[in-house]
Chain A
Amino acid sequence: MGNNPHDAGLTEGPAPMDEQLVAYLDGELDDESSRRLEQQLASDSTLRDQLSRLERTWDALDELERIEVDQEFTRTTIEMVALAAEREHQEEERRRPARRRRQWLLGLAAIVLACFAGFAGTWYFLPDPNRQLIEDLPVLQRLDEYQLIDTIEFLKLLRDRQLFPAKTEDASTVREASPVVAAGPSAVNREVGAGVAGKREYEKNRARIEAMAPGDKRQLSDNWRRFDKLSDEKQEELRNLHGALQLEGDREELERVMEAYCEWASDKLSAPELSHLDRLLPAERIEQVAAYKASPRRQFGRRDGFWDMARNPYGTRWFGRGVSGSSVKEYADALKTWAGRYVADRAEVLAELLPREEGTKWKAGLAKAPADDPEQVKSRWIYLVRWYLAGPKQDMPIDGEDVASLEALLSPNARKFFEQIPPEAKKREIPVGLRRMIGFHFQTGQPEFENLIAAEDLDRFRKTLSVDMEENLRKFPSAEKQNEWVRFAYFQSKLPRDARSSRDDRHSPGSARPPYGPPSHDGPSGPRRGPGGEPREPGDGPRGMRPGPAGIPPPPADQPAEKR
């Protein structure tokens, strides 16, 4: 970030260029300024990147929830207003001659009555507020898919390119709600909907919603809220997509391709990638999808459980503070280089902490790793991972010199946190941070970690898993994801005993602020404590859940989390 002149002073106050860019995005620049800025944008790729990053974060705000209040809120507020009106008129009344009192009482009664009659009328006599939801049910049930597909042209391109061969399951099992889907509110169907058949479908849709399980209803309601906040134009596009799909002769095949694509996109693409695809025309988009599909795993693009991973005791945490954008990779490289130097400098000591045979093998491997150029020094950090996997007797030893050299690399915010830690605690925090970095790599299936553990070791480890753990694992969406978690669990099993203890729980879920920092502004972000104020153990898991063995999440709770 420091190399980017446009980024200067972001937290103290925006550079004028940022202000111009933001005003440009908001359509608040005058014609002349817009023209000038566009000229600059055309010739300055850094500026374009700046603009695109501002736009990306602004677009992300669309994800914020639109709150809908319940009828109870409306009722009580209207009651309060009616009472206020009553009090107001009583005041008035006291100031008026007695002969007009009756007239005002009548007026007041009329107001209060109008309040409640209007309220009741709106809810019970005006058109059914759920009408649109019921009509749009088929679109809502496929909202995610339709939003990802966007146009029928793109879906046909997907089919033609055969990037996602349709699964060969029986057509009847594709979608249980198929008859409803066919009765959607597309331009075509809405015309039909005007007649008796439309009314019948409408009633069928209503019956389907009524028969839904509470969880499905919540999902539908969530989809409805998201749909409702789309522009009218976008809503119509999605309805038209649905309508067009119904008219296709090979609808079932297209639906299967759509499902396969959406499953892949949801699993493999990051939010920014999805957002990027969304902006492309069908012909460009298909090329981009093909490129994504053909590329090896992208470095930070995996989505499954990403958030959960970041909140995991072994996810990234404090040393990632205040690092953003293009500086992320640079920063991670600096930390890896530090770790690479550390293992080379401490080779003897570290080898002694391993079982004898493992230590010899580890040292011999490290000796072969060249140390003459910075890239190679960085690549040696993998030996820190190998060291942990070899099962050390105790955690990596850190002295004052290590603390100073690492501290010099930290981002300003990470350093601010680090400076508040007592000197001795700093020596313990460094291995914690590095173990989290390693855990992050395991959990996101980083390519450089793929072959670190021999397949037979992994198989052997897997056989030691309890029935419950296997059961939990089977609930992951793919075999690949299962393997990532097994690799991570294997890594955890190799950590020295003290490294597995509550030390790491300081940054576990719900503990956004470590114990050393200043008190949080928000209650729940303080360190997680047990009932007696003691730090909770990592295996404690979320409230009401039984511990997930070796980092594998527990099975779902009997009762899903209640939505607010």
Chain B
Amino acid sequence: MLEVRDDNAATFEELMLRYQNRVITFLEHHTGNHELAKDLAQDVFMRVWRARKDYVPGAKFSTWLFTITSNVAKNAQRSRSRRHEVNLEGRDSGPLGVRPLEAMAQVSSGQIPARALDRAEVRDVVWMAVQSLNERQRAAVLLSKFEGMSYAEIAETMGMSVQAIKSLLSRARTNLREVLEPYFDFGSPPETSDDADSS
């Protein structure tokens, strides 16, 4: 990052290649919208480039990057809420999708292994459960799960105290459990938005 700070564009590109999938994964699961996530990811890298001079040597780059990323996601969320936008992007076979029978028929006809559908099912349900968390819980969960960040790193990234992160993650995980267990035990798909607390 120090080389990027010194205007080394090639190194910037290397950083981008290294982190772009992680950033877009975070944004996609955070916003629930692939196209929006791509736009926001571009915004993130633009901000990284613009803010390169502010990077403090010694700071962990991924923490700095995800601070920017979570701020971009948070701002996008707020502006969507202000505009009362809704997510119109369906998923292939997920809870918001339109083609469950096609998927099942594909399985039945042996075009893809049955196990692939099982995983797709679980993935969709889990995706929906993550979407049911509030914005802060979702960000903390994604940073913890996908980025493997410690509580201290998440706290730094999200600008909160370690204790607050501890409580936030605990609430998030109990909420996830509440939403996912009916599926695991009973087959009921999770409900969106109802159960996430509003803290």
The residues of A with any CB-CB pair to B shorter than 8 Å are 10-14, 18-19, 22-23, 26, 28, 53-54, 56-58, 60-69, 73-74, 76-78, 80-82, 84-85, 111-112, 114-115, 117-119, 122, 144, 215, 219, 222, 262-263, 266-267, 270-272, 300, 303-311, 315-317, 320-325, 328, 332, 413, 416, 440, 444, 472, 475-477, 509-510, 512-513, 520-525, 541-543, 545, 548, 553-557, 560-564
On whether the beta carbons of B25 and A28 are closer than 8 Å, the reply is no
Contacts A73-B38, A118-B13, A541-B101 given; indicate if A14 touches B108 (C-beta within 8 A).
no
Q: Does B90 contact A (CB under 8 A)?
A: yes
On whether the beta carbons of A553 and B104 are closer than 8 Å, the reply is yes
Q: Of A19, A56, A262, A548, which one neighbours B166 at CB under 8 angstroms? A: A19
Please give me the residue from chain A that is nearest to B176 by CB atom. A57
Residues 133 to 179 of chain B near chain A (Cβ within 8 Å):
141, 144-146, 150-151, 166-167, 169-171, 173-179
17 more contacts with CB within 8 A, not counting A10-B175, A64-B123, A271-B122, are A11-B197, A13-B171, A26-B144, A54-B177, A65-B25, A66-B21, A81-B46, A122-B13, A303-B114, A307-B100, A324-B182, A413-B191, A472-B105, A523-B88, A542-B98, A557-B102, A560-B102
- What 6 A-B pairs have minimum CB-CB distances, sorted nearest first? A118-B10, A475-B108, A523-B86, A324-B181, A320-B188, A266-B115
Q: Of A76, A118, A440, A563, which one neighbours B92 at CB under 8 angstroms? A: A563
Q: Give the Cβ gap from B163 to chain A, nearest Cβ, in Å.
A: 9
A residues in contact with B176, CB < 8 Å: 57-58, 61
On whether the beta carbons of B174 and A73 are closer than 8 Å, the reply is no
Residues 9 to 42 of chain B near chain A (Cβ within 8 Å):
9-10, 12-14, 16-17, 20-21, 24-25, 28-29, 32, 34, 37-38, 41-42
On whether the beta carbons of B126 and A64 are closer than 8 Å, the reply is yes
On whether the beta carbons of B92 and A323 are closer than 8 Å, the reply is no
On whether the beta carbons of A13 and B199 are closer than 8 Å, the reply is yes
Q: Of A58, A84, A521, which one neighbours B86 at CB under 8 angstroms? A: A521
Count CB-based A-B contacts (< 8 Å): 322
Question: With A and B bound together, what is the CA distance between A304 and B113 in angstroms?
Answer: 11
Contacts A323-B182, A476-B108, A553-B105 given; indicate if A85 touches B98 (C-beta within 8 A).
no
Can you show 20 pairs from A to B with CB atoms below 8 A apart? A10-B177, A11-B175, A13-B167, A13-B199, A19-B166, A23-B166, A61-B126, A69-B38, A81-B12, A114-B9, A118-B9, A119-B13, A144-B113, A215-B112, A416-B194, A509-B98, A509-B101, A512-B191, A521-B192, A554-B101
Question: With A and B bound together, what is the CA distance between A484 and B174 in angstroms?
Answer: 35
Contacts A66-B25, A122-B14, A307-B121 given; indicate if A520 touches B192 (C-beta within 8 A).
yes
On whether the beta carbons of B145 and A58 are closer than 8 Å, the reply is yes
The residues of B with any CB-CB pair to A shorter than 8 Å are 7-10, 12-14, 16-17, 20-21, 24-25, 28-29, 32, 34, 37-38, 41-42, 45-46, 49-50, 86-88, 90-93, 95-119, 121-127, 129-131, 141, 144-146, 150-151, 166-167, 169-171, 173-189, 191-195, 197, 199
Please give me the residue from chain B that is nearest to A562 by CB atom. B92
On whether the beta carbons of B96 and A524 are closer than 8 Å, the reply is yes
Question: With A and B bound together, what is the CA distance between A524 and B96 in angstroms?
Answer: 6
On whether the beta carbons of A76 and B42 are closer than 8 Å, the reply is yes
A residues in contact with B90, CB < 8 Å: 524
B residues in contact with A416, CB < 8 Å: 194
Contacts A11-B178, A324-B182 given; indicate if A26 touches B115 (C-beta within 8 A).
no
Please give me the residue from chain B that is nearest to A222 by CB atom. B116
Residue of A23, A60, A144, A564 with highest tally of chain B CB at under 10 A: A60
Q: Give the Cβ gap from B49 to chain A, nearest Cβ, in Å.
A: 5
Question: With A and B bound together, what is the CA distance between A389 and B160 in angstroms?
Answer: 59
Q: Give the Cβ gap from B34 to chain A, nearest Cβ, in Å.
A: 6
On whether the beta carbons of B122 and A525 are closer than 8 Å, the reply is no
A residues in contact with B37, CB < 8 Å: 67
Q: Of B25, B92, B167, which one neighbours A67 at CB under 8 angstroms? A: B25
Q: Of B14, B50, B104, B166, which one neighbours A308 at CB under 8 angstroms? A: B104
B residues in contact with A332, CB < 8 Å: 186
On whether the beta carbons of A310 and B13 are closer than 8 Å, the reply is no
Please give me the residue from chain B that is nearest to A304 by CB atom. B114
Q: Give the Cβ gap from B79 to chain A, nearest Cβ, in Å.
A: 15
On whether the beta carbons of B186 and A69 are closer than 8 Å, the reply is no
On whether the beta carbons of B192 and A512 are closer than 8 Å, the reply is yes
B residues in contact with A476, CB < 8 Å: 108
B residues in contact with A56, CB < 8 Å: 177, 184
On whether the beta carbons of B105 and A555 are closer than 8 Å, the reply is yes
Residue of A82, A324, A563 with highest tally of chain B CB at under 10 A: A324
A residues in contact with B167, CB < 8 Å: 13-14, 19
A residues in contact with B116, CB < 8 Å: 144, 219, 222
B residues in contact with A512, CB < 8 Å: 95-96, 189, 191-192
A residues in contact with B102, CB < 8 Å: 542, 545, 556-557, 560-561
On whether the beta carbons of A26 and B145 are closer than 8 Å, the reply is no
A residues in contact with B173, CB < 8 Å: 18, 22, 54, 57-58
Contacts A11-B195, A305-B104 given; indicate if A300 touches B186 (C-beta within 8 A).
yes
Please give me the residue from chain A that is nearest to B145 by CB atom. A61
Q: Give the Cβ gap from B134 to chain A, nearest Cβ, in Å.
A: 11
On whether the beta carbons of B181 and A117 are closer than 8 Å, the reply is no
A residues in contact with B95, CB < 8 Å: 311, 512, 525
Question: With A and B bound together, what is the CA distance between A510 and B95 in angstroms?
Answer: 7
Question: With A and B bound together, what is the CA distance between A311 and B38 in angstroms?
Answer: 30
Please give me the residue from chain A that is nearest to B96 by CB atom. A524
Please give me the residue from chain B that is nearest to A331 by CB atom. B186
On whether the beta carbons of B191 and A554 are closer than 8 Å, the reply is no
Please give me the residue from chain B that is nearest to A73 by CB atom. B38
On whether the beta carbons of A308 and B101 are closer than 8 Å, the reply is yes
Q: Give the Cβ gap from B4 to chain A, nearest Cβ, in Å.
A: 10
Question: With A and B bound together, what is the CA distance between A451 and B124 in angstroms?
Answer: 34
Question: With A and B bound together, what is the CA distance between A90 and B177 in angstroms?
Answer: 54
On whether the beta carbons of A310 and B188 are closer than 8 Å, the reply is yes
On whether the beta carbons of B113 and A266 are closer than 8 Å, the reply is yes
B residues in contact with A81, CB < 8 Å: 9, 12, 45-46, 49
Q: Of B45, B50, B181, which one neighbours A57 at CB under 8 angstroms? A: B181
On whether the beta carbons of A522 and B186 are closer than 8 Å, the reply is no
Question: With A and B bound together, what is the CA distance between A523 and B91 in angstroms?
Answer: 12
Question: With A and B bound together, what is the CA distance between A477 and B146 in angstroms?
Answer: 35
On whether the beta carbons of B92 and A553 are closer than 8 Å, the reply is no
Q: Give the Cβ gap from A255 to chain B, nearest Cβ, in Å.
A: 15
Q: Of A58, A122, A323, which one neighbours B17 at CB under 8 angstroms? A: A122
On whether the beta carbons of A64 and B29 are closer than 8 Å, the reply is yes
Question: With A and B bound together, what is the CA distance between A524 and B33 in angstroms?
Answer: 12
A residues in contact with B16, CB < 8 Å: 74, 77-78
Q: Of A62, A308, A524, which one neighbours B88 at CB under 8 angstroms? A: A524
